Chains A and B, each alone.
Chain A
Amino acid sequence: MAGVNIRSVAKTFGETQVLKRVDLDIRDGEFISLVGPSGCGKSTLLRIVAGLEQQTEGHILLDGKTVDRLRPRDRDLAMVFQSYALYPHLTVAENIAVPLTMRRLSTLDRSLMGGLLPAARAKRKDIAAEVDKVCEALSISMLKDRKPAALSGGQRQRVALARAMVRKPSAFLMDEPLSNLDAKMRVQARGEIAALHRQLGSTFIYVTHDQAEAMTMSDRIAVMMGGEILQLDTPDHVYQMPQDLRVAEFIGSPKINVVKAMHTKDGVLAVARGETPGQSIHAAFRPEAARLAGEAEAPLAGIIHHVENLGADLFVQIRLDGGDDLVIVRCDPAGVRPVIGDRTGVAIDHARLHAFGPDNRRIDGSFRLEAAQ
């Protein structure tokens, strides 16, 4: 059990700066997701915590102690890789046993001579028992004698989890462990990993580019972009109170709607038409914070471009007047079905309207969006 502290960690590869002085304090037992588009530095940060990569600057603390100079072996962490990284020539049971045999058995114990040493035999027996227990817990006991090549993607993923769990590490590091699974398996595995976290109570650091994985499993999400953490918050806050336009755009599906606007007077944003003089503001609202309305009472209007019917929701794409901008509005399929090609207005729930400045940062305060003048 350990908290993880990342203290102004920077990493450069040659000329490129991959991480720019990242600070992150992860509490003991917390499930934290590092989420961001590929190339944002999230995997590099995880590898630095693991010790597989050395930071250029800054410190990593595990359980309050600096581990910068410790090898991965001595950091008491376990990692699940995107490719699972199972040893292809070993059986499932042997794969899971590796972290234990490598740590508990001496070189002599592991040599051919080891079979003759009673102490080594006793240790091997203990290891086998622990492997059995982990297999039991993840219900992969029937796979113990198979080679990884004979397993399905979901089974491999469980074996990789089992190999990480068997040593009872103080924290788990997961590098996109679900991205090689098909969509259905992924949803199931999400639930399983979250359940595992509740049951083990260990610290989980989970790297993903899939915002849905981050939203559904984490206690807190760190949204990373361009080598920095843009926002660190609970899933609810990240979704409802994004501190940066890029966070707002990255989290949520379908994407948040963004409309350029001018700050006319206190708390009022006017929709901007075409090129705007001076500094414009981004007004953003999620599809569920808007509804189709009469043109007269709505700040935005346009032509219905497409209707996506997902069964439970209708997502209506509207091409706004005076530009190519699309906004998406969620509708109830039980209501009146919008017709493609019709004109409509878009009304916005102003309590859920966000404003972001030209620097992409959130502007606090409550705003109304009004039609262009």
Chain B
Amino acid sequence: MSLSASQNRAGLALIAPAAVLGLLFLIAPLASIFVLAFTDYQLGDRALNFIGLENFHALGDDPVFWRSLSNTLIYSAVVVPGSVLLGLISALLIDAGTSLRSFYRTAFFLPVMASLLAMAVVWEFMLHPSFGIVNAAMKALGLPPHNWLKDGSIALYVLAVIGIWQSFGFNMVLFMAGLSAIPRDLYDAAEMDGTPNAWDRFKLITWPLLAPVTVFVAITSVIRSFQVFDTVHALTQGGPNKATEVLLYTIYAEGFEFFRSGHAAAITVVFIMLVVGVSMLRFLSLKKNGASA
């Protein structure tokens, strides 16, 4: 279909606001990050030099970066399955229940809405080695206490547990929306068709019909887990001994504490690549679902 010149002009005028804003707030900052990544710019410098891939070479040799990358991946590997599974289970339980549904929904969703920075203070108290409730509980159960946030071998996993606590409510809400879209008749039909138990009905109906939601939830969880920052900043500052150093925290430290903007930009580029890669997975899965439906 060909458009008249005036229609073309009207069309351009209509996209203009979105295009300008997008250019200003998305494309331009992204582009400047990509440019900075190839310079030796430090915050406050009056001039900058292009140094090619030097920043990336430096990253390759930087043990902190590798530690940070692997910590982020480990964190993600714990938080994603944890928060997806917990979100699914709590959604199923609330969906199957008859009373107090909105209470549970609100209670589980609360951590999502609460400021994680404020919540981190509560966690810090709870995890305090000498007067925290967690160690008190461990003692009561006859288990050895831990210095949860200062023990390099467990600190990252403690942060991951907090991450799960914080994010599963969001997944739960998405799963509940997915569950409410499944027609009740199907469960009646499955009952008539002789499914022996609830697990078989879950396998026959719930799981396959929830698959698109699950893919969406998993991928958003991955992206959100890559973005972990506030708990690290509030509770451990990447320590002890870089045990909880994650990508976003490294970017922050490099850029705003050591003012090595070029270096920070290079890490940001790596981070963006990761997120874009995961987003591509989502795009592909959506396309596949669209084709089969």
Contacts and interface: CB of A to CB of B under 8 A. Distances in A.
Interface of A: 47, 50-52, 71-73, 77-79, 81-83, 85-89, 98-99, 102-103, 107, 110, 147, 149, 163, 167
Contact of B204 (A52, A81, A83, A87): A87
Interface in B190-213: 190-196, 200, 204-205, 208-209, 211
B183 interface: yes
A107 B196 contact: yes
B209 A79 contact: no
Contacts of B193: 98-99, 102, 163
A52 B191 contact: yes
A102 B188 contact: no
B141 interface: no
Contacts of A107: 196, 200
A50 B209 contact: no
Contact of B192 (A72, A147, A149): A72
A73 B194 CA distance: 4
8 contacts: A47-B188, A72-B194, A79-B189, A83-B183, A83-B185, A98-B193, A110-B200, A167-B194
A119 to B, nearest CB: 18
Contacts of A47: 188
B293 interface: yes
A351 to B, nearest CB: 47
B186 interface: yes
Contacts of A86: 189
A99 B196 contact: no
A191 B282 CA distance: 48
Given A47-B188, A98-B204, 13 more contacts: A72-B191, A73-B192, A73-B194, A78-B192, A79-B192, A81-B185, A83-B185, A85-B189, A99-B194, A102-B190, A102-B196, A102-B204, A167-B194
A83 B183 CA distance: 9
A263 B195 CA distance: 61
A86 B208 CA distance: 13
B208 to A, nearest CB: 4
Determine which residue in B191, B200, B208, B211 has the highest number of CB atoms from chain A within 10 A of its CB, and name it.
B191
Contact of A85 (B183, B200, B293): B183
A50 B186 CA distance: 15
A73 B197 CA distance: 10
A85 B188 contact: yes
A87 B195 contact: no
A81 B189 CA distance: 8
B186 A87 contact: yes
B75 to A, nearest CB: 31
The 8 A-B pairs with the shortest beta carbon distances in the complex, nearest first, are A85-B189, A85-B185, A102-B194, A73-B194, A99-B193, A89-B208, A103-B194, A79-B192
A88 B209 contact: yes
Nearest to A51: B191
A87 B194 contact: no
A73 B185 contact: no
Contacts of B194: 72-73, 99, 102-103, 167
B196 A149 contact: no
Contacts of A89: 208-209, 211
A99 B188 CA distance: 13
A72 B209 CA distance: 23
Contact of B293 (A103, A110, A149): A149
Nearest to B195: A102
Given A81-B185, A85-B183, A87-B186, A50 B192 contact: yes
Contacts of A102: 190, 193-196, 200, 204
A98 B208 CA distance: 15
B179 to A, nearest CB: 15
